[in-house]
């Protein structure tokens, strides 16, 4: 049996980071500085410089980054926040945790991301923010959303959990909204095992998030709390891992783009598959290399995945639209997202994949076409 072409599982991811992990751990342990100091400041400074924002605040997950961003924007019970239905469920859960209501908008077929026309349809007198998600590493077409937000007085919070380094019209994602979330979960391009971060250019938002992540303790008076805060801090150990990897982020992104090029070359011209978008204004980081099966394809998506699995090739289905899932089920039709979700497959995308791995996946798919 051929060895398994794994996905972006932590063990695959960490294998190529062993040297970075070892030296980062040694350094932190030697200093005895486990929490919250020099490496965290370094990681935040590196991220802010990379993304192109004045500030970055390290946190302990992407979900908590989203949660704090919504709170820091002053959003809560009675408010509505527009999110794509085709995203990981954390985007919607973060809104719900603040007491606000997530309102689900459809995707556009050309980028698989939030459709600005559908966002406009979703706006009510209670709407306070829009959270565009750069799905699978491809940036959202931000200008129409930024314009809509300007006209209607809404906040834009980018969910850049899956798109470290992606460019929208030459600007890094995570620098376009007012306050923007990243995840460093084990399968992300930069990983701290668990971890997250917010970026912003706004002094007040930066200060508010730093205050809230640390139990909302007064900077002037120790153990004095003027509101109810959170422990959403990133540890120094996590940050040290991040610092070590930031030195190689351009290499990881180049590798992701190279993998996408190999898949594109291997699958181009096969009518059965739609290859992932890359708009003329976009530089995708292809966090997940993803394809759509043709509408009239003879096999179901699950059957294609099962056949890949029998050849020891791992894959994932697209996210399920959130509006059909039990906590949020609503009598809504969001046809583009529903269709993308039915036909979409994430193929193995780890930076450790070899050319031979990709040829194996391509060969298996071509055989089915």
Ligand X SMILES: Cc1ncc(COP(=O)(O)O)c(C=O)c1O
Angle separating helix axes 236-246 and 249-267, nearest 10 degrees = 60
Q: How far is the CB of 269 from ligand X (least distance, A)?
A: 31
Q: How far is the CB of 341 from ligand X (least distance, A)?
A: 14
Using CB under 6 A as the binding rule, whether residue 238 contacts ligand X is answered as no
Nearer to ligand X, 17 or 362 (CB): 17
Q: Which of residues 136-175 bind ligand X (CB under 6 A)?
A: 159, 161-162
What is the rounded CA–CA span in Å between residue 98 and residue 16? 38
User: Contact 184/167 with Cβ under 8 angstroms?
Assistant: no
Q: How far is the CB of 159 from ligand X (least distance, A)?
A: 5
78-115 residues labelled b (16+ CB within 10 A) or e (exposed): ebbbbbbbbbbbbbbbbbbebebbbbbbbbbeebbbbb
Using CB under 6 A as the binding rule, whether residue 91 contacts ligand X is answered as yes
Q: Which of residues 47-76 bind ligand X (CB under 6 A)?
A: 61-63
Using CB under 6 A as the binding rule, whether residue 196 contacts ligand X is answered as yes
Q: How far is the CB of 184 from ligand X (least distance, A)?
A: 7
Report which residue's Cβ sits closest to ligand X.
62
Using CB under 6 A as the binding rule, whether residue 88 contacts ligand X is answered as yes
Using CB under 6 A as the binding rule, whether residue 133 contacts ligand X is answered as yes
Q: How far is the CB of 228 from ligand X (least distance, A)?
A: 21
User: Contact 51/175 with Cβ under 8 angstroms?
Assistant: yes
User: Contact 323/85 with Cβ under 8 angstroms?
Assistant: yes
Q: How far is the CB of 165 from ligand X (least distance, A)?
A: 15
Q: How far is the CB of 65 from ligand X (least distance, A)?
A: 8
Nearer to ligand X, 55 or 88 (CB): 88
Nearer to ligand X, 168 or 273 (CB): 168
Nearer to ligand X, 140 or 358 (CB): 140
Q: How far is the CB of 87 from ligand X (least distance, A)?
A: 5
What is the rounded CA–CA span in Å between residue 369 and residue 364? 9
User: Contact 55/48 with Cβ under 8 angstroms?
Assistant: yes
Q: How far is the CB of 81 from ligand X (least distance, A)?
A: 14
Question: Which span sits near ligand X by CB under 6 A: 83-91, 267-275, 321-329, 355-363?
Answer: 83-91
128-165 residues labelled b (16+ CB within 10 A) or e (exposed): bbbbbbbbbbbbbbbeebbebbeeeebbbbbbbbbbbb
Using CB under 6 A as the binding rule, whether residue 87 contacts ligand X is answered as yes
* Three-state helix/strand/coil letters over 53-108: CCEEEEECCHHHHHHHHHHHCCCCCCCEEEEECCCCCHHHHHHHHCCCEEEEECEC
Q: C-alpha distances in angstroms, 151 versus 113, 143, 155, 176, 343?
A: 21, 12, 11, 16, 35
Nearer to ligand X, 116 or 137 (CB): 137
Nearer to ligand X, 263 or 287 (CB): 287
Q: Quick one: residue 241, left, alpha or beta (phi over 0 = left, psi -120 to 50 = alpha)? A: alpha
Using CB under 6 A as the binding rule, whether residue 242 contacts ligand X is answered as no
Encoded one letter per residue, x for contact with ligand X by CB under 6 A and - for no contact, window 267-306 reads ----------------------------------------
35-54 residues labelled b (16+ CB within 10 A) or e (exposed): ebeebbebbbebbbebbebe
Nearer to ligand X, 237 or 267 (CB): 237
Residues that bind ligand X (CB under 6 A): 61-63, 87-88, 90-91, 133, 159, 161-162, 183, 185, 196
């Amino acid at each position: 049996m051929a060895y398994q072409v794994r996905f972006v599982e932590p063990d695959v991811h960490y294998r190529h980071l062993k040297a970075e992990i070892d030296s980062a751990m040694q350094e932190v342990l030697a200093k005895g500085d486990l929490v919250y100091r020099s490496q965290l400041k370094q990681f935040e400074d590196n991220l802010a410089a990379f993304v192109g924002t004045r500030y970055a605040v390290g946190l302990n997950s992407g979900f908590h980054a989203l949660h704090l961003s919504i709170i820091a924007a002053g959003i809560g019970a009675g408010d509505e926040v527009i999110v794509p239905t085709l995203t990981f469920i954390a985007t919607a859960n973060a809104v719900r945790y603040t007491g606000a209501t997530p309102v689900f908008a459809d995707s556009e077929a050309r980028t698989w991301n939030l459709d600005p026309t559908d966002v406009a349809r979703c706006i009510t007198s209670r709407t306070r923010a829009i959270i565009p998600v750069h799905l699978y590493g491809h940036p959202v077409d931000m200008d129409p959303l930024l314009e809509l937000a300007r006209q209607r007085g809404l906040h834009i919070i980018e969910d850049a959990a899956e798109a470290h380094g992606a460019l929208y019209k030459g600007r890094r994602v995570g620098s376009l909204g007012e306050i923007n979330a990243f995840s460093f979960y084990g399968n992300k391009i930069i990983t701290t095992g668990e971890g997250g971060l917010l970026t912003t250019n706004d002094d007040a938002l930066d200060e508010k998030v730093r205050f809230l992540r640390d139990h909302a303790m007064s900077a002037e008076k120790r153990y004095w709390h003027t509101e109810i805060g959170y422990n959403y801090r990133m540890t120094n150990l996590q940050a040290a891992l991040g610092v070590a990897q930031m030195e190689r982020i351009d290499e990881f992104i180049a590798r992701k783009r190279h993998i996408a090029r190999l898949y594109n070359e291997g699958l181009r011209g096969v009518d059965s598959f739609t290859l992932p978008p890359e708009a003329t204004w976009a530089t995708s980081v292809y966090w997940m290399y993803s394809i759509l099966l043709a509408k009239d394809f003879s096999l179901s998506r699950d059957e294609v995945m099962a056949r890949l699995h029998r050849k020891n090739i791992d894959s994932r289905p697209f996210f399920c639209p959130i509006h059909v899932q039990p906590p949020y089920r609503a009598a809504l039709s969001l046809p583009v997202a529903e269709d993308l979700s039915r036909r979409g497959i994430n193929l193995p995308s780890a930076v450790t994949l070899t050319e031979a791995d990709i040829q194996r996946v391509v060969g298996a798919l071509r055989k089915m076409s």
